[in-house]
Structure 1
């Protein structure tokens, strides 16, 4: 049986625009408009899920989806860096940021390491691999990165080399533990933000 997973990144928010570790900010009105215009363009799914963040839940609603919050699909736990911008943290603790960006096992913020996130998402993918019907999930960009790292059996160090634009769909399909990937297809033609 072939499994299909569609991962949709959230619409633009102030936090995404500022490279701010998730602070619970809502999506921007322009992002909500883009998501509403894409409503109905995503493939039907047997399961519709969302990361528990505000921006993922709001994006799901704007897309017209009745998504269940899935804690296992939460974004990277940034610990005490939550709510701060990467520039702020880099100015205050440049060695810690360099270690975090260069070592997938590092979690100088006291939260989750990139390797831990990738492992969590790999376990989630393994758990849904043999379920009937497609799964659609609105998830944080780092969850998409972790899924792609797992799907392609990439080294965890490739995590930071993957860009996930707002409001794009990444499709995984697979069977018997082997995944194929279709990257970054917008649900509809993108508007300028």
Structure 2
């Protein structure tokens, strides 16, 4: 049998709209919840979620109940959590530039792109047969795609992930096919 994984980034909320480093507490707004409630997803054998309020709230608006998977946490921005890139750049410009350019470099107190790709990759290789829907942060979608396709880590920041889209991986451990960013159908 084949594993089918549908990765759905959360609906937009204030932190995402402001491009803040996510701290796990920011939720989605009423308009975003209404948008999420208006779309349909395929039936799934299992649902998993990134930890954090906006993934839980998006899943609820989509009518999904699932288990939180710690391995699907977003990239940990360490002491930059809750701040905008402009705020961090003004105070720590060299560190931000290095973090964006070097997949091995971790944000102070956080993790590197290599770390998040490895963590999400380990989880991806354990996805069981059948369809799994995962409501996950955009960084998790990027990490899964980088791992599944064996892309260079430097491509991580070059993958755009729009809210409430479906990125689909099908296959099995070590051999994945990709379908990118399909808009979710209206319910």
TM-score range, shorter chain: over 0.9
Give the alignment's Cα RMSD to 1 decimal: 1.0
- Deviation (angstroms), 1:48: 0.3
Match of 1:166 among 148, 163, 166: 163
**SS in structure 2 of the partner of residue 137 of structure 1:** strand
Render the CA deviation track for 1:51-76: whole Å, top value 9, x for unaligned. 01100000000000011111111111
Alpha-carbon contact 1:12-1:27 (below 8 Å) kept: yes
- Deviation (angstroms), 1:29: 1.5
Render the CA deviation track for 1:97-117: whole Å, top value 9, x for unaligned. 000000001013211100000
Question: Which TM-score applies when normalising by structure 2?
Answer: 0.96
**Residues 1-193 of structure 1 correspond to what in structure 2 (within 5 A)?**
1-23=1-23, 24-38=25-39, 41-128=40-127, 131-175=128-172, 177-188=174-185
Distance 1:95 1:176, change over 3 A: closer
Render the CA deviation track for 1:28-47: whole Å, top value 9, x for unaligned. 21111110001xx2111111
Render the CA deviation track for 1:67-102: whole Å, top value 9, x for unaligned. 111111111111111111111001110000000000
- Deviation (angstroms), 1:177: 1.6
Runs of 4+ in 1 over 6 A off after TM superposition: none
Name the CA distance, whole Å, in 1 between partners of 2:18 and 2:149: 29
- Deviation (angstroms), 1:175: 3.0
Alpha-carbon contact 1:46-1:132 (below 8 Å) kept: no
Gaps of 5+ in 2: none
Name the CA distance, whole Å, in 2 between partners of 1:36 and 1:107: 36
- Deviation (angstroms), 1:176: 5.2
**SS in structure 2 of the partner of residue 21 of structure 1:** coil
The number of aligned residues is: 185
Question: Which TM-score applies when normalising by structure 1?
Answer: 0.93
